[in-house]
Amino acid sequence: IYGGRPPARALSLHHHQVPPPPDHPAFYCRVLTTTGRDSTQPAILKDLQRHPANWQILHMDLQRIGEGEKIRMHVPIHFVGEESSPGVKQGGTMSRLMTEVEVSCLPKDLPEYIEVDISGLDLDDMLYLSDVKAPEGVELTELAYGEEHDHAIVSVHIIRAAPVEEEEVAAPEAAEPGEAEQPEGPEEGGGEAED
């Protein structure tokens, strides 16, 4: 665990004391509480390493946080309303251009996910970061860098297969009946080859 004024500190835990993180990505944007012999410290998970074979947790990086200090975290985006989208009803496909977004907020305001409603998207429509309604107290950090960072997050369009270009291969002309193929020889007008 690291961060804040106290120096970094190594913690040892029995594996059964660590709740197995669910497959839901929201686990990685929750405020955790570490309890030691002499103190309790809120923290956020910054990294998690697992054993490649048995999926056992091998190592965790935790960052200390203060209740009055803003933190930056990546939270998943949940898209809703796909079945109601006019563009999808017309045969369009929803393309998720971003699956998570970085937010800045106080620990108490940290959302587990950001919900984006696409029920109003028509064909060839897109939503951008500036279209996202973040919860109160939550800011999207990319938008602080200017308009050029207002990235598209989702679009609805019809996917068309590219036409396959077939190469034309000229077939050899067949000889007419009675005509024999002439062996290649010296060009016309040339004399006999000299010894």
User: pLDDT of 140-173, one tens digit each?
Assistant: 999 999 999 999 999 999 877 666 666 665 656 6
pLDDT at 176: 59
Identify the burial level of 166 via C-beta atoms within 10 angstroms of its C-beta, where 0-12 means exposed, 13-18 middle and 19 or more buried. exposed
Percent of the chain with pLDDT over 70: 78
Q: 3-state SS of 173-193?
A: CCCCCCCCCCCCCCCCCCCCC
C-alpha 135/C-alpha 112 separation (Å) is: 11
User: pLDDT of 45-92, one tens digit each?
Assistant: 888 888 899 878 888 899 999 888 899 999 999 999 999 999 999 999
pLDDT at 167: 63
